[in-house]
């Protein structure tokens, strides 16, 4: 994990928000500076990110909330190196993604970032075990066996490893996706509405596991959610509206998050 300390100057412009709400210096797993992203052009241009300055504290669980279309997925995709900004900068640790070649970016993504999608994104013809190690197999890297065993055991998949996705429940499939994201021991995990397709009991298992990964392994987790109960698992909630960070909340409770959402009409 990067141990770069960011001097205040690094995030000193107005509007900068650190996800742990503390004053500098703090350790950031990732941050943006004046991040903008536009889609389309001319009359149909959409400004999905409108000058976002945000820092994601290392070793913490951050939730991102906001109305549909407010730019949550775009922010996560750009911070994870899955999409590029129109202007501004994204840093993972102290590396600015825009300065990397395609090959360097692919490597950074593979080694430092895990992504959990709402729709699981598992390959149907592969077993759970094969899905979990696929990114490493493609990269030609070897998983750390002890780590992998502990991840698989923690997500409760030990006796499901030979099953294919169609033979697993939704919750089990998402656990495979979470294990896949953790398998290479990335410093940063992004999860875009990971419990959106799950019933509440299975959802709380996944949330509990991500919380555990933060507490036990000092994992950094960033999660988009619409659900105040899910957001309450996080250390900090960031609120996004119209492509801007408009508020943050430390040590959230479901009730406080709900009140904040009502205030926004979100």
Residues that bind ligand ADP (CB under 6 A): 39-40, 46, 48, 66, 68-74
Residues 2-41 that bind Mg ion (CB under 5 A): none
User: Which partner, Mg ion, ligand ADP, none, binds residue 15 by CB below 5 to 8 Å per kind?
Assistant: none
For ligand ADP, which is the closer residue by CB, 74 or 187? Answer: 74
Smallest gap from Cβ 7 to Mg ion, in A, equals 33
Tokens of 75: 């922010």
Q: Residue 117 in 3-state DSSP?
A: coil
Tokens, residue 257: 């998050």
Q: Report d(CA 118, CA 230) in Å as an integer.
A: 14
Stretch that binds Mg ion, among 57-65, 68-76, 108-116, 252-260 (CB under 5 A): 68-76
Tell which one of 73, 154, 187, 219 touches Mg ion (CB under 5 A).
73
The least distance separating Mg ion from the CB of residue 149, rounded to whole angstroms, comes to 33
Tell me which residue has tokens 């997925």: 73
Residue nearest Mg ion (C-beta atom):
73
What is the smallest separation between the CB atom of 49 and ligand ADP, expressed in angstroms? 8
Of residues 62 and 74, the one with the C-beta less far from ligand ADP:
74
Instruction: State the minimum distance, in angstroms, from the CB of residue 197 to ligand ADP.
Output: 15
CB 155 within 8 A of CB 183: no
The Cα angle at residue 205 between residues 203 and 207, in degrees rounded to 5: 70
- Closer by beta carbon to ligand ADP, 72 or else 175: 72
What SS3 string covers 215-258? Answer: HHHCCEEEEECCCHHHHCCCCEEEEEECCEEEEEEECCCHHHHH
Tally the residues of the chain. 266
Residues in the site for Mg ion, rule: CB under 5 A? 72-73
């Amino acid at each position: 994990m990067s141990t770069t300390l960011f001097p205040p100057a690094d995030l000193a412009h107005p509007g900068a928000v650190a996800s742990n709400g503390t004053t500098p210096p703090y350790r950031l797993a990732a941050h943006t500076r004046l991040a903008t992203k536009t889609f389309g052009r001319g009359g149909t241009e959409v400004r999905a990110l409108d000058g976002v300055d945000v820092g994601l504290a290392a070793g913490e669980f951050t939730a991102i909330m906001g109305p549909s279309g407010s730019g949550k997925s775009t922010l996560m995709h750009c911070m994870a190196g899955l999409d590029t900004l129109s202007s501004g900068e994204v840093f993972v640790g102290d590396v600015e993604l825009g300065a990397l070649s395609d090959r360097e970016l692919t490597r950074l993504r593979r080694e430092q970032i895990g992504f959990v999608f709402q729709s699981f994104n598992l390959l149907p013809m592969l077993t759970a075990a094969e899905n979990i190690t696929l990114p490493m197999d493609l990269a030609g890297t070897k998983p750390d066996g002890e780590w992998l065993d502990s991840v698989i055991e923690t997500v409760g998949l030990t006796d499901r490893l030979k099953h294919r996705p169609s033979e697993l429940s939704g919750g089990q499939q998402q656990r495979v996706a979470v294990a896949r994201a953790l398998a290479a021991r990335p410093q940063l995990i992004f999860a875009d509405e990971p419990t959106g397709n799950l019933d509440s009991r299975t959802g709380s298992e996944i949330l509990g596991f991500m919380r555990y990964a933060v507490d036990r392994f000092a994992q950094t987790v960033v999660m988009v959610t619409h659900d105040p109960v899910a957001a309450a698992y996080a250390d900090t909630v960031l609120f996004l509206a119209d492509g801007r960070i408009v508020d943050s909340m430390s040590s959230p409770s479901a009730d406080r998050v709900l009140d904040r959402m009502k205030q926004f009409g979100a």
